[in-house]
Structure 1
Amino acid sequence: MDSLDPLETFRVEVADHVATVTIRRPPVNAQNGVFRDEITRIFDTLHESEEVRAIVLTGDGRTFSAGADLRDRPDAATRGAFPRHSRAVRAGFDCVMECGKPVIAAVNGPAIGAGCVLALVCDIVLVAEDAFMSMTEVDVGLAGGVQHVLRHFGQSDARMFLFTARRLYGPELHRMRVASGCFPKAELLPAAQAMAREIAGKAPLAVAAMKRAFTVCEYMPLHEGYRFEQTQTAALAKTEDTKEGLRAFAEKRRPVFRGR
């Protein structure tokens, strides 16, 4: 997208209402300050783009993301350095979770530490057969990622994953229901883009409302969460897209959604 140029650590391409965001920081797509600034700018822009209805996030080369660039870690002896760093790290994940468009992670290779978390903050996870996820914090005397891992892993699996720092490969991630699909590497990105186009063909306002409900209701009690969802349905009922969808259903034709 022209509005995002220039980018140092990413490439963004848009076609058929789908944005493909590719991490490009060789050799292993490690995350540093520039990476975090750019991913926040990208997803904030895509959030407000009428041209984009779904997003695929993947890595260039053999790696999805090897995690945080250790050369970029703050100096623990400098007052205020860690809070500033931690805030920026959270923003680099929150922008994906808070983006109003569904985000599909196409995990093409190793997703380690912060790279694993980046995949897990996406709405849908697809993996290559030879890709793996790993949280290696305990190997280097650190800790983190528990909250995001618990969103996708069962309790015992989450503890096994974090306490052992094991590598979990594509087929195992699929078996554990962390990933929704596992593909040969050459088929991964086309499959993710095809799923994104399928989502982009739905009513944009309804998809946005659905994602908003996932985000808002995740930690709500059942009654309050469902009540919030019903307010979304009531608001959608007044939109042109919902009226068009209902007409098309009655007329047995494909609806034409315009995002209003």
Structure 2
Amino acid sequence: MSAIPGLEDLTVFRVEVADGVATVIIDRPPVNAQNSAFRDEITRIFDVLHESADVRAIVLTGAGKTFSAGADLKDRPDATRPGAFPRHGRAVRAGFDCVMECRKPVIAAVNGAAIGAGCVLALVCDIVLVAEDSFMSMTEVDVGLAGGVAHVLRHFGQSDARMFLLTARRLSGTELYRMNVASGCYGKDDLLPAAQAMAREIAGKVPLAVEAAKRAFTLNEYMPLREGYVYEQTQTALLAKTEDTKEALAAFAEKRKPVFKGR
């Protein structure tokens, strides 16, 4: 395991790096709830990993039996203070945006309960893998709050999204896999190794091409089909001129493992 400069003094997370893969572990007992320290650290972590040459893919998971039980209700903004809610909302969005904007692909390894903001955190990752006995739940309607609709709609069908949010039901890992919300469903002990193996597989691809693909997914979500495809073609043209693409083509022709330099 190697250390990443800038991430030595974490209190809510642990970050382990090996074979080009960073495993980011939420470690805030007892249930990995999200407070201001959580949001500050996750933003810093993903900003640092975004620029780290040693990291090509990321796995995000939780310590213990919980992925994240959502927002820490002891850390809610004071409704009597002017400006408290906009400031709080901006910080919450930053804690999700940093994952989506990170140029390295992020795999969520949902090892247990992912509730409310914890569910959203899993859904902003590029790939979702779940443990069989994990579950997701959006409990906002139970406590008189709202939020998460936009992110839920990115992964659930229309009827399922409404059922999920309006009933606040718990959906197990096996149900999430059946509903195509998750790309894989594993036994508890197999989840993290499977996520890390997938991350290593991604880390072995041409780094600039992987980054371009993630960028295209993010942009194409809000672009018409033709414009989205035109954008992808411009990226392919740019990649064709890079050293790594030339190395990938040469290695394929010579039947050897490529050596990428990230340029």
What is the TM-score when the length of structure 1 is the normalising length?
0.99
Q: How does 1:133-148 map to 2 (within 5 A)?
A: 133-148=136-151
Aligned CA RMSD, in angstroms, stands at 0.7
Specify the alignment match of 2:238 in structure 1.
235
Q: How does 1:62-77 map to 2 (within 5 A)?
A: 62-77=65-80
How far does residue 256 in structure 1 lie from its aligned partner after superposition?
1.9
How far does residue 251 in structure 1 lie from its aligned partner after superposition?
2.1
User: Following the alignment from structure 1 to structure 2, what is the Cα–Cα distance between the partners of residues 7 and 191?
Assistant: 26
Residue 164 of structure 2 aligns to a residue whose secondary structure is: helix
Q: How many residue pairs were aligned? A: 260
Q: How does 1:248-259 map to 2 (within 5 A)?
A: 248-259=251-262
1:212 has 2:218 as partner: no
Deviations 1:3-31 (A, max 9, x none): 21100100001000000000010000000
Specify the alignment match of 2:11 in structure 1.
8
Unaligned runs of 5+ in 2: none
User: Following the alignment from structure 1 to structure 2, what is the Cα–Cα distance between the partners of residues 117 and 109?
Assistant: 14
Residue 254 of structure 1 aligns to a residue whose secondary structure is: coil
Q: How does 1:1-260 map to 2 (within 5 A)?
A: 1-260=4-263
Residue 42 of structure 1 aligns to a residue whose secondary structure is: helix
- In the TM superposition, structure 1's runs of 4+ consecutive aligned residues that sit over 6 Å from their partners are none
Deviations 1:137-187 (A, max 9, x none): 000111110000000000000000000000000110000000000000000
Letter in 1 for 2:151: H
How far does residue 56 in structure 1 lie from its aligned partner after superposition?
0.2
How far does residue 91 in structure 1 lie from its aligned partner after superposition?
0.1
User: Following the alignment from structure 1 to structure 2, what is the Cα–Cα distance between the partners of residues 47 and 258?
Assistant: 16
Residue 64 of structure 1 aligns to a residue whose secondary structure is: strand
User: Following the alignment from structure 1 to structure 2, what is the Cα–Cα distance between the partners of residues 86 and 25?
Assistant: 21
What is the TM-score when the length of structure 2 is the normalising length?
0.98
Unaligned runs of 5+ in 1: none
User: Following the alignment from structure 1 to structure 2, what is the Cα–Cα distance between the partners of residues 77 and 31?
Assistant: 22
User: Following the alignment from structure 2 to structure 1, what is the Cα–Cα distance between the partners of residues 122 and 112?
Assistant: 11
User: Following the alignment from structure 1 to structure 2, what is the Cα–Cα distance between the partners of residues 153 and 193?
Assistant: 25
User: Following the alignment from structure 1 to structure 2, what is the Cα–Cα distance between the partners of residues 148 and 18?
Assistant: 25
User: Following the alignment from structure 1 to structure 2, what is the Cα–Cα distance between the partners of residues 211 and 196?
Assistant: 14
